[in-house]
Structure formats: C-alpha cells, structure tokens
Structure 1
Amino acid sequence: MVTAPEFSLLLPVYAGDDPSFLRLAFESTVDKQTLRPTEAVIVQDGPVPEALAAELARIERESPVPVRIVRLPQNGGLTTALNAGLDACAYPVVARMDADDVSAPGRFAAQWELMSQGFDLVGTGMVEFETDPDKVSAARIPPTGQDRIREHARTHNPFNHPTMMYRVAALDAVGRYQPFGKMEDYWLGVRIIASGARVENITEPLVKYRVGAGAFARRGGWQEAKTEWALQREMLRIGFITRGEYLRNVVVKGVYRLMPASLKRVLFRRFVGSGLPGDKAAPSQ
C-alpha cells in the first residue's frame, strides 16, 4: 500500500513583510502546487502591522489546507521562529518557504519524489527577481550528489535555504537551527552533512527568490566578516574542514565580505549566481 505524501509547510513572517508578497508566496506554495502540503504552519515572529495581520487572518480562513499560526510575543529572529515552527509541525517532513518568494507549481512533487527514496534533506535551484517574478535574473544552481555537496560545503553553502525540504529527525539529530548571524542555514547544512544524513539537490530552479535593494551591501561589512570567520572556526572544530582549508577560507571570504557592494555584485554574478536556467550550473552561496 502506497502512503499518501504528508508534510508540513513552514513559513515565518515578521513585521517587515509585505502582505501582497505573502499572499503571492502562500498561493504559489499551497494553492497552485501540484502536490500540496498537508498543513501550513506560519510563525508570526512578534507583533505585525494591521494589514499583515489581516492577510494572515484571510489566509487562515481561506486556505485549501489547514493553517496553524504560531504567534510569538516578540521578534526573536529567524532561528527562534523556525525552531518554534518545527515544534508546531505535525508531520515528520517539513518544507521551508519565505514570505516574499514564489514557488514553481511542481516544486513539492519533485522534492517529495526524492524524500520518498529516503533522503533527509532535498534543496532545489532558484532564480532571483527584484519586483516582477516573471523577470528573473541570476540563477543559483546548487551542486548535486552526496560527495559533490559535501565538497562544495567546505567553501560555500551547498543549499538554497528557502528551497529546503527536510526530515525533522535529521534536524533533531544535530540540534536544529542554532544562532549564527545570517548564516544559520549554512551551519545547519554543514552539521546535517557531517552527521551522515542523506542529502540531495535538484538543479532545476523551483523557487523564485526576491532580491531587494541593498542585498549585496547586506552580505558585507565587519559583522558579516566576523560571522564568516566564526563559522569557519566551527567547521574546523568539528573536523569538517582542514586547517589549510580554514586559513584559505578565512582570507578569501574575509576579503569578499569587506569588498564594496558594487564589486561584490560583479563577483557574485560571475562565480556564485551566474546566468539563467539552462546556462552552465553555478554554485549557490
């Protein structure tokens, strides 16, 4: 007897999210999916404006699948929100989504096909857009295969976080999300790989990722550099990278983080997110 797919959608929301973006994100990830999640868990990370609260109420009322809204009394950040959401999810497999991105209709069907084969984490490629989801720019195509993913993770995040589908048990085994600046997803992925869990990526860009103004400036600065260096120390501590790889990464990534945003954009497009679907695959950041 074949078991029907059952999984939870986990979607965090905070005061800065746009209600119209949230509506588009939810519709693309639930209403228009060829394989819908069994439930949707939305984490409201602290108080939100009236318009956003109204949109959440509409979603809860009109959604074609059951919706559970977890309301946190104050904004605790993405790590806190995601862990609270995982506690609320009723199913052992969870799919991630951000409140301003757009999923392709076949996203979950493609990911579930691999999850049903025993994988513990499955990501996908994604394309970037600024205002119009139909006008995409760079593609972030991740590495595939356990060995290539592990090797890639020594220098770059091998998964596009908003595209992840994973088993809660795999996250429980490594301590779930842990605070790490804006790199909590990279640190999670490294720990999951190091644990021996089965991981895979789908190169097809099944998520459209909204890139706002100032995105490249936010990837830089002393704080980001210090977070990067701290992450490299932890990767060295658990034996995921060698001392030589650690020293190389500290220098190369530190220089990148401290570059002007204009130059960072050029290098990112050239080496990390380059081209459109159908172009030569480029690694994710």
Structure 2
Amino acid sequence: MGSGFSVLLPVYDGDSPEFLERSFDSVTVDQTRPPSEVVIVQDGPVRPELTRMLARLVDRSDVPVVLVEIPVNGGLARALDLGLERCSHEIVARQDADDISVPERFAVQVPIVEGGADVVGSAIEEFVVEGDGGLVRVPPVGHEEIERYARFRSPFNHPSVVYRRSAVRAVGGYEELPLMEDYWLFARMIHAGAWAENVVEPLVLYRVGAGAYARRGGTRLLQSEVELQRRMWRAGMTSFWSFSRNVAVRGVYRVTPEPVRRRAYRAAVRRDAEREAHTDQHTDQPGTTDAGQD
C-alpha cells in the first residue's frame, strides 16, 4: 500500500453548495485510491446554504475532514497556505470546489509523486454540463519541456496538481499575486530544482461558466501579468528579452475584447493538444527522443 495523502480544497462564499458536494464526492467516494484526509479551507464568511453543506460533508464523510475557517476572506494564496499548514501528509492534491476529479486521478498521479516527482499535473477537460465534454487543455509533458514552457506560460493546470508540501514550503509557499499566484509558485518551484511532470490524460473536469473568458482579461489581470513577468525576470528565470516579449504578447491578450480573447484562447488550447498528439506519435517511433526533448 502506498503512503497517505491529503486533498486541499478551498471554499468561499461565491461557490455553489451543489457543485461543492459533487466536487467533494469526486475526490473521496468516487476515487479508486481515496485520500487519507480532505482539508477544506473556508475563506471568510459564507451564506447559510454553504454552511449547511460544509457541515453535511464533514458529518457523512468516511474520509476524515479538517475544516479550516478563516474569519475574513483573504484570497486564494492565503487560504491555500493556511490549508497546507493543516495538511497531515507530505503529498497534497489540489481540488477546486466546482471541479470534478475522474475516479482514477489519484491512482495515476500519487504514485508519480511517491516515485520522486515534486509536482505532477494533468490535462483538464472543460465542461458546462457534466457529461457533455468540451475543450481539453493539454499541458507540456516531460520535465525539460515543462521547464522551457514555464518561461512563457504556466506549465500546469492548477486544479489538477499533486505536489510535495515540502517542495512548496521550500520556495515560500503561495505568494499574493491576484489570479496568478499558482503560476508564480510553479515558476519558483521549477527554478529551485523541483522535479515536474504532467499526465497527458484529462484527470480533472474543469467547470466553465459564463464569466470564464471575461476572467482571463481586464486591468487587474494585466497588472498581475506585468508584475509576474517582472518577478520572473528579476529572479533570473527569464531574460530581459523574454520579459519584454511576454509583457507585450500576454499584455495585449489581457486587454483584447472578450470575443477575440475567446477565439485566441480556444485556438491556443487546440494547438497545445495537437503538439502533444504529434509528440506522442514521434516518441512511439524507434530511435526517437523522449517527450521532454526537441
């Protein structure tokens, strides 16, 4: 039997009680390899319906649940850091309150971390109504490819990651950077030498709503984007040329009208999927290099 692991699941007042219940079940009773505990972080006061759902989940769960209640909403970075402090295990899996993990998720990812990786993500499949399917966001595969990719875009789908708590703590944990705290964490981990892997199969169903594309743009996200690129450059993760290029290209994307941004995003997701499909075909041929190499 493998080692125990924790699931870290943040909740705030904007979450749906019904979606939370489905998300919780997907990482507990539905898993072929269930976790040893679920740490739920309640980030600030929540409305009565959500309070009742949290109490219900704690009461009926066969998997131990630790409920961490933060009196004032402080944002995702702080909630995740406080939750990590309460996790009892070295291996921690992230889960969002409106997403769904497929039953084999932990049986696939946790052994990779047990085998030596520090952080492991996966592809995610977008959906509006469960069962309908949608775009599959395929991440780069292989440590070297992930390391290269991280200089330009986040190499992980945050809701899909499983990581070592010690590797997160070694770089200072999550740091405040609205809407981009995950990318900044992963960039620091990889720069510090953490071993990174991704699974090409979609192990998380990622719920998208009417505001999904709007959240990928706007002034606030543009400011975070510029600050992220500045931090990466100053930390020696990117060159000044890369800093300038990233600010220009990604900055323009953040301020383009939503319909244009939607088309650009969908095109990029399809390109990533085609890239990995081509890589898989290439690596299946005798004598070719692995997926992490050019």
| CA displacement, residues 145-196 of structure 1 (integer Å, 9 cap, x when unaligned) | 1110011111110000001101110011100000011000000000000000
Q: Which residue type is aligned with residue 11 of structure 2?
A: V
Q: Which residue of structure 1 aligns with residue 247 of structure 2? A: 250
Secondary structure of the residue aligned to 1:31 is coil
Tell me how far 1:4 sits from its aligned partner: 2.9
Q: Which residue of structure 2 aligns with residue 33 of structure 1? A: 31
Instruction: Please point out which of 171, 186, 202 is paired with 2:168.
Output: 171
CA distance in 2, matches of 1:110, 1:7: 13
Q: What is the RMSD of the two structures over their aligned residues, measured on CA atoms?
A: 1.8
Q: Which residue of structure 2 aligns with residue 109 of structure 1? A: 107
CA separation of 1:28/1:18 partners in 2, compared to 1, >3 Å: closer, same or farther? same
Tell me how far 1:226 sits from its aligned partner: 1.6
What is the correspondence of 1:121-200 to structure 2 with a 5 Å cutoff? 121-130=119-128, 132-200=129-197
1:73 matched to 2:80? The reply is: no
Matched residues, percent identical? 47
Instruction: Please point out which of 7, 10, 18 is paired with 1:20.
Output: 18
CA distance in 1, matches of 2:123, 2:274: 9
What is the correspondence of 1:37-76 to structure 2 with a 5 Å cutoff? 37-76=35-74
Q: Which residue of structure 1 aligns with residue 218 of structure 2? A: 221
1:261 matched to 2:274? The reply is: no
| CA displacement, residues 67-112 of structure 1 (integer Å, 9 cap, x when unaligned) | 0100111111111110110011111110000000000000001001
Q: Which residue type is aligned with residue 167 of structure 1?
A: R
Q: Which residue of structure 1 aligns with residue 237 of structure 2? A: 240
Q: Which residue of structure 2 aligns with residue 118 of structure 1? A: 116
1:210 matched to 2:210? The reply is: no
Q: Which residue type is aligned with residue 52 of structure 1?
A: L
Alpha carbons 1:13, 1:99 under 8 Å: kept: yes
Instruction: Please point out which of 98, 101, 113 is paired with 1:100.
Output: 98
Alpha carbons 1:35, 1:106 under 8 Å: kept: yes
| CA displacement, residues 30-89 of structure 1 (integer Å, 9 cap, x when unaligned) | 110000000010001111111111111111011121001001111111111101100111
CA separation of 1:158/1:48 partners in 2, compared to 1, >3 Å: closer, same or farther? same
CA distance in 2, matches of 1:243, 1:152: 17
* Matched length: 279
Greater mean deviation of Cα atoms: 181-190 or 242-251 = 242-251
Instruction: Please point out which of 214, 227, 230 is paired with 1:230.
Output: 227
Q: Could you state the TM-score of these two structures normalised by the residue count of structure 1? A: 0.94
Q: Could you state the TM-score of these two structures normalised by the residue count of structure 2? A: 0.91
